[in-house]
């Protein structure tokens, strides 16, 4: 565990620090060299307010007490990491912009106004936002785009995903992100070629379609395969998540990346140096 509190350490605050991802992030920040957990919050009324963030995350006391007022916690930090709820993320973005604190966000389900809050904050601070912070999925997405650029529509694109039985939406946000990358690579509009439902007498497969197949069951965290099926060959690229740790690890990597970064909106492809 990193215990060195040197002034050079990146000060990272975790908001929503008692959630599934919040606890994972606290553990990740506490375990990494070169950074320190400078503060932690959770929603007002949470039973965890006043408790030690390290203890709640299962790593033992670290001296950081969970607060319910995010303003001073964000003001104290170099970077704030937010995997919470859309309304909370909107407020955290505003506070980070006021405080000049860089922002790394992974909260999903933002509405248009909340997405606009990202743009507004990014006028004052660097903001890294990604619906999937995993390094592996970001690579898969970049590879998918590249392959789609090279192959023409003689190759049929199909995306297969599997998740645990509790997942409520389909196809997954990540599957759609991969489909969008494929569409971009091919130079077409995703919504024009997306085919997420096939049932009954569908007729032959239209050329250029991007098809989705959704599997649900058990405790699968997230498997995604992009298939390019041509005459005489098939290319398949796959990512399988076996731990949610990959999202926390990607988020902390993004937090380090914001050091010295210009104000603006970035995603994980920027963090990994994969952007065009
Ligand atoms: P969770 O419900 O376990 O945790 C959310 C936490 O946010 C809770 O502790 C809750 O009390 C806290 N919270 C809510 N309102 C708050 C407020 N106003 N101030 C401070 N804290 C507040 O959920 P989770 O599984 O940890 O997921 C959180 C979000 O992250 C979801 O939107 C999820 O879809 C997203 N997520 C994104 C990625 C990615 O890679 N981008 C990966 C996993 C999860």
Residues identified as active-site: 163, 167
Query: Is 19 touching ligand 1 by the criterion CB < 6 Å?
Result: yes
Query: Is 222 touching ligand 1 by the criterion CB < 6 Å?
Result: no
The preferred substitution site among 25, 87, 108 for testing ligand 1, maximizing ligand atoms within 8 Å of CB, is 108
Q: What is the pLDDT of residue 2?
A: 44
Q: What is the pLDDT of residue 121?
A: 98
Q: What is the pLDDT of residue 173?
A: 85
178 HSE (CA, 13 A, CB side): 32
Which of 189, 184, 187 has its CA nearest to residue 269? Answer: 184
Residue pair 127/121 in contact (Cβ under 8 Å)? The answer is yes
Q: How far is the CA of 45 from the centre of ligand 1 (A)?
A: 16
Query: Is 41 touching ligand 1 by the criterion CB < 6 Å?
Result: yes
Torsion sign across C-alpha atoms 81, 87, 93, 96 = negative
Q: What is the pLDDT of residue 3?
A: 44
Q: What is the pLDDT of residue 168?
A: 81
- Averaged pLDDT, groups of 10, the chain, 276 residues long: 66 97 97 97 98 97 98 98 96 98 93 96 97 94 97 97 90 92 98 96 97 97 96 98 94 96 96 88
Q: How many other β-carbons are positioned within 10 Å of the β-carbon of residue 133?
A: 27
Q: What is the pLDDT of residue 131?
A: 85
Q: What is the pLDDT of residue 5?
A: 57
Protein residue whose Cα sits closest to atom 34 of ligand 1? 108
């Amino acid at each position: 565990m990193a215990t060195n509190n040197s002034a050079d350490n990146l000060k990272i605050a975790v908001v929503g620090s008692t959630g599934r991802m919040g606890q994972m992030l606290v553990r990740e920040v506490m375990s990494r060299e070169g950074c320190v957990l400078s503060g932690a919050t959770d929603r007002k009324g949470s039973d965890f307010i006043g408790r030690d963030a390290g203890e709640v995350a299962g790593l033992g006391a670290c001296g950081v007490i969970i607060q319910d007022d995010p303003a001073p916690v964000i003001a104290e930090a170099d970077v704030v990491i937010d995997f919470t709820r859309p309304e909370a993320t909107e407020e955290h973005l505003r506070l980070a912009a006021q405080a000049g604190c860089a922002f790394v966000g992974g909260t999903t389900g933002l509405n248009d106004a909340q997405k606009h809050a990202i743009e507004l904050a990014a006028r004052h601070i660097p903001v890294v936002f990604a619906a999937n912070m995993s390094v592996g999925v970001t690579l898969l997405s970049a590879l998918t785009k590249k392959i789609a650029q090279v192959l023409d529509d003689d190759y049929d694109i199909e995306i297969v995903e599997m998740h645990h039985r509790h997942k409520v939406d389909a196809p997954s946000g990540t599957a759609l992100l991969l489909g969008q990358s494929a569409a971009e690579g091919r130079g077409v509009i995703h919504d024009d070629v997306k085919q997420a439902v096939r049932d009954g007498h569908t007729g032959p497969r239209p050329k250029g379609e991007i098809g989705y197949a959704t599997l649900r069951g058990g405790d699968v965290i997230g498997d995604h395969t992009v298939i390019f099926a041509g005459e005489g060959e098939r290319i398949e690229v796959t990512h399988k998540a076996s731990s949610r740790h990959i999202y926390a690890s990607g988020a902390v990597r993004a937090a380090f990346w914001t050091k010295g970064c210009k104000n603006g909106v970035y995603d994980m492809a920027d963090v990994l140096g994969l952007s065009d």
